[in-house]
Structure 1
Amino acid sequence: MTEQKQRPPLPHAFHPPVASFTVVSDDVSEGARLKPDQVQAGGNTSPHLRWEGFPPETRSFAVTCFDPDAPTGSGFWHWSVFDLPASVTELPAGAGSGDFTGLPEGAVHVRNDYGDRGFAGAAPPPGDGPHRYVFTVYAVGEETLGADADATPAVVGFNLRFKAIGRAQLVGEYEVPAGS
């Protein structure tokens, strides 16, 4: 009998409840395999995201991508950007990649767990099974999160735990077969 790998909870399982809203994407579909563009070896491009239905008292947004299934004991942060103005309700594909074209002025990127600023595509170890990539948009009740570009994704997450007034998430999956 093969033992099934137990999957860790999604990243918000231990956060206080907040209002939910909707995030959709032209590039990521709920529960579906990520497209090659969102994979490190295939394009390493941040996906298009669009959101609506957030609380009216929203003053800014943050966007993250987290892999809770990474074999690290603490997951893996692929993307963390915050201080997006409340007037911004969509990011085009590639806004978090390369020269950040499409990212609004004043937005702050912190380093991902590869040590680079910006989006890092999916790259699970071969044979490790499917990994979930949780794209989350947070509605924040303040214009700035209070962190800076030298903060870690964990510090950004800490601030979001206390300052988020709404949250929307979209989960894609990706797996690299053994022997690849």
Structure 2
Amino acid sequence: MPAPLPHEHLPSVPALVVESDDIQDGERLNDLHVFNDWGMKGGNQSPHLRWSGAPAETRSYAVTCYDPDAPTGSGFWHWVLFDIPASVTELPAGAGTGPEFKVLPAEAVHARNDYGTKEYGGAAPPPGAPHRYVFTVHALGVDKLGVDSDASPAVVGFNITANTLARGHVVPTYST
């Protein structure tokens, strides 16, 4: 039985619609979105994301990518981005990595992922069964989350959960 998705144990909130030109529920990630290290030869590029249906009181967003199937006992955080202004409802492909950071609003903050970097880190599962990559957009009721970029994904996640008004996700897979 697969591990539960991270939102399955959280308080229920209204759903956002999350769409992408690059990824789809249950479909295999393109190599563009795979890590480029640890024996992987991907593009390490974050996918395009677009969302709608946020409550009127939304004051900011957070975007996360989590692998609940990683053999760590605690999953693996691939992307933790927060303090995205409420006026932003779309991120282009590559917004989470390298020189494309320039497309992010100045207020947006990357926290460390489980690779130890402050950016999107692509899929890199060990050989075997497919892993799920849960790309979640969280509509938040605060302008600023109140944590800095050195916070762990768990601390950022705690603060996201405490301030979430709505959330939605898209869950592609990847295996080697």
**1:103 to partner: Cα distance:** 1.0
- What is the letter of the counterpart of residue 14 of structure 2? A
Root-mean-square deviation (CA), in Å? 0.7
Q: Indicate which of 4, 7, 10 corresponds to 2:2.
A: 7
- What is the letter of the counterpart of residue 27 of structure 1? D
Q: Indicate which of 13, 19, 22 corresponds to 2:14.
A: 19
- What is the letter of the counterpart of residue 110 of structure 2? H
| Contact 1:60–1:142 (Cα < 8 Å) also in 2 | yes
**SS of the counterpart of 1:63?**
strand
- TM-score of the two chains, using structure 1 as the length reference: 0.93
- What is the letter of the counterpart of residue 85 of structure 2? P
**SS of the counterpart of 1:66?**
strand
- 2:119 equivalent to 1:124: no
Give 5+ residue unaligned stretches, structure 1.
1-5
Matched with 2:61 is 61
Work out the CA distance in 1 between the residues paired with 2:174 and 2:141. 33
Work out the CA distance in 1 between the residues paired with 2:102 and 2:44. 15
Report runs of 4+ in structure 1 exceeding 2 Å deviation.
none
Partner deviation per Cα, 1:28-85 (whole Å, 9 max, x = no partner): 1111000111111210000000000111110000000000000000000000000000
Work out the CA distance in 1 between the residues paired with 2:76 and 2:2. 14
Structure whose residues are more often helix by fraction: 2
Matched with 1:48 is 48
Matched with 1:3 is none
- What is the letter of the counterpart of residue 109 of structure 1? H
- 2:36 equivalent to 1:35: no
Aligned length: 170
**1:21 to partner: Cα distance:** 1.3
**SS of the counterpart of 1:121?**
coil
- TM-score of the two chains, using structure 2 as the length reference: 0.95
- 2:84 equivalent to 1:84: yes
**SS of the counterpart of 2:27?**
coil
Work out the CA distance in 1 between the residues paired with 2:2 and 2:72. 13
Work out the CA distance in 1 between the residues paired with 2:21 and 2:108. 22
Matched with 2:74 is 74
**SS of the counterpart of 1:56?**
coil
**1:96 to partner: Cα distance:** 0.5
Give 5+ residue unaligned stretches, structure 2.
36-40
**SS of the counterpart of 1:20?**
coil
- What is the letter of the counterpart of residue 38 of structure 1? H
Work out the CA distance in 2 between the residues paired with 1:73 and 1:97. 27
Matched with 2:111 is 110
The structure number with the bigger radius of gyration is 1
